[in-house]
Structure 1
């Protein structure tokens, strides 16, 4: 029986007092027996936690008690074993590094498409306006090799900082189409969609990323598994570990 709750969550929101937040969050998680990784930056928070369900959800509830984290949503899955070896809280310049300081999701998101709407678009082959739908994978090449949306564009990038240059080199092939950027949990495709729209591309982000899509509609139009950054290695459309 799978008894360990795994959650991933992120939120772009202006943060200060990062050192104090780091110490408080780490102490709270350790005291609750929760392990994982939390990244803090001036632009927001990105976290992966695993442990007893009540303990993990309690940490999320504590965060949401602060107004700036009120909209923090988490994607849940289960495993038989603890997939993290320790609890780490890091402070970085960005919660997902793109090296484009002008891209500030905390100031306003790009339009998002829900998993249910995306499935309908992919079923029909076009969006609600009859435009061709193009899936764009914003993940690193080795992640894509585990699985991706059928026919998705894969630029074989090795790190997310390469995404803007890759987008610039192929922008012409995307203009005039409805582009849906996606990633594991939504954090990369959120920045990617903003960048693409600034380049004149009609881009949307997949709300909740691949894990959110699995949770709400399963594996329709998806080939393979989804790589995750813990010892589970990958999960299937049923969100069960594949390790």
Structure 2
């Protein structure tokens, strides 16, 4: 673990941050810290005993362990996480578990804090203080919110999969199978909670990334199509024109 200088946010201090990766069956043994440990799971499926409770973690799950609480990670499939060591009172109002949203609001903060800790700059203290404050707000909101239903958790997990693998030719049927659902069940659940279909939501993720590349790069359309999960340049062009009313070439802002 790489540490940066202790960073202040009111009563919070970021003591360190890093990345941990383990293969299948490579468990992390039971241990405890004198500070809070906040862990964001990026990849894999993990069973985590924390104190008297046991949690199942998948990508986008955040587990928060208070000081002097014994905990471990049991690797079922191999996993990768981002971890933060934060100095705060043991009664700090954070949940023990929460879940990221489709925009990776929590994952983005974990990534940024890990990067700043690994490569500190002149303004790292200031940026990390802001990031830690933002993270604190998200976690307090999660603690105050009603525990998400099983359906809400499944939809949130589907949205995280869309964000992580939109460029791979991902199909909704594959996502449903990973979540232990039938495609029709996932479609019905998604329609109830989001008012749209999972295929439309996946298409929106692909289109958002494709439009970003069209507007801010000189990559050929075929390359952008390959990077964002479209079958061909013409397939990409049809979707861009349907969404914006303009062909991709008129949207380019770079020479």
Which structure is higher in RCO with an 8 Å CA cutoff and minimum separation 6? 1
TM-score, length basis structure 1: 0.28
Decide which structure has the larger Cα Rg and report it.
2
Q: Select the structure that is richer in helix.
A: 2
TM-score, length basis structure 2: 0.27
